[in-house]
Amino acid sequence: MCEMCGGKTADAVRRDMLARIAKYDYTMVSVREERARDGSWVAPGFVYSVGLWSFHRVPEVIVVGAPARHAVELVQRYAGMAKRGKRFGPGGPYPGFVADGTVMMELVAPGFYAEWFASAFDFYPTGDFPAVQLLWADREQVWPWEPRWARRNTPQPVLTRSGRPESWRVAA
């Protein structure tokens, strides 16, 4: 359940988030998926970091469409590696994130920040932070921009202006 849905005020949620950042150098914000009554997708769930840019000078990271527990694990893994000095640029693949799959990184277009990183503005009021999206392939190693991306998969929009990777080459 979201903290505000549980009765906390927006100010209390903000204070708690800032306290977690002060204690751990970052925090995670999780947004639940949304489905219509007929079960169709309205919006995928997502998890993102807040604080990594300020404390470790690495982009904030967002994982869209993965099951919540898995998305949290991916953000934690990224944060742990970043805190130990690992740096990530656009592209990949990056081994070590998932045992049976592949992940890539893509720069998030700032035009998506307000919608996808809303709580980050409590920590970065001007929105002055870089962000990467950790993209994941399905079990058949198909990426969300490929025509074979299965309809049964959770939507995984690519948060660039074009909706496709832009900062590294993709096979056509």
Tally Cβ neighbours within 10 Å of residue 105.
23
pLDDT of residue 142: 85
pLDDT of residue 4: 52
Is residue 56, in this structure, part of any structural domain at all?
yes
Strand 131-136 relative to strand 41-43: parallel, antiparallel, unpaired?
A: unpaired
Question: What are the start-end ranges of the E strands in the chain?
Answer: 27-31, 34-35, 41-43, 46-50, 60-64, 103-107, 131-136
Question: Residue 112 to residues 25, 62, 104, 118, 160: CA-CA distances in angstroms?
Answer: 24, 11, 19, 10, 8
Is residue 97, in this structure, part of any structural domain at all?
yes
Is residue 141, in this structure, part of any structural domain at all?
no
pLDDT of residue 64: 95
Q: Name the pTM for this structure.
A: 0.89
Is residue 168, in this structure, part of any structural domain at all?
no
State the Cα–Cα distance between residues 145 and 119, nearest whole angstrom.
27
Domain count, the chain: 1
CA 163, distance to chain mean position in Å, is: 15
State the Cα–Cα distance between residues 28 and 38, nearest whole angstrom.
30
- Structure token pair of residue 97: 């994130």
pLDDT of residue 9: 85
DSSP string, 110-154: GGGHHHHSGGGGGTSTT----EEEEEE--TT---TTSTT--TTSP
pLDDT of residue 146: 86
Q: What is the pLDDT along the chain (172 residues), one digit of tens a residue?
A: 455 556 788 888 889 999 999 999 999 999 988 888 887 778 889 999 999 999 999 999 999 998 889 999 999 999 999 999 999 889 888 876 787 778 899 999 999 999 999 999 999 999 999 999 999 888 788 888 888 886 666 788 999 999 888 887 655 5
Domain range enclosing 117: 10-136
Is residue 171, in this structure, part of any structural domain at all?
no
Backbone torsion region of residue 54, taken as left when φ is above 0, otherwise alpha when ψ lies between -120 and 50, otherwise beta = alpha
Sign, Cα dihedral of 84, 63, 18, 110: positive
